Amino acid sequence: MFSKNPNKSYSIQKSRSYNQTQYIQNLTEELNHINRQIEITNKAIIDAQAVKVRSFFSSNNNVFLALQKRMIESNIKKSMEWHFIKLKDLRNERRQLQRAIDACTGKVWSRRIENFSNLLLLISISLIATAILIMAIIASLSIIPILIITMIAIVSFQSFRKS
């Protein structure tokens, strides 16, 4: 009946005997530190992609330079994979810290509603953009016969004019 499962999470938290404002401040500082690490990791990924692009556009006719280029590309690929994994872990850690801060400040449901509304907004914008694209394709396809008829009329009018 009273199992101690650490994986269970509740939106209502127990009252803690320690100073909650200090706890929230510590969580916020840790969240800021993780945000800085995420920025550094994003910069490292962009730098690795820049090196990859430079390596791709370099012209190497020498066999040794081509071998070196392959080694560089392999190392870049490994580096980018490692940075992507690190970025994923940092984002998960940031999400957990943000949930803990929200639980302490009582903003769990407002944050969930905000995230849900952002998701709905993104989906609706995507659907509207797709609908506009489809309408533009259909409109351009329906104009093609009119353009062909107009071109034939212009060519025939010019040929009648010359004769």
Better-scored residue on pLDDT, 20 or 93 = 93
Residues 70 and 31: beta-carbon distance below 8 Å: no
In angstroms, the Cα distances linking 138 to 22, 25, 67 are 60, 56, 50
Segment 91-113 shows an average pLDDT of 92
Rounded CA gap, 143 and 150, in Å? 11
Best-predicted range by mean pLDDT among 1-5, 57-61, 156-160? 156-160
Assessment of whether the complete model's pTM goes beyond 0.85: no
Segment 124-146 shows an average pLDDT of 95
Segment 104-124 shows an average pLDDT of 94
Extents of the domains making up the chain: 18-111, 121-163
| Nearest to 38, CA basis, from 46, 115, 116 | 46
pLDDT for the residue 1: 45
Residues 39 and 91: beta-carbon distance below 8 Å: no
Residues 46 and 99: beta-carbon distance below 8 Å: no
| Nearest to 52, CA basis, from 30, 74, 67, 37 | 74
pLDDT for the residue 112: 92
pLDDT for the residue 64: 75
Count of C-beta atoms within a 10 Å radius of residue 129: 10
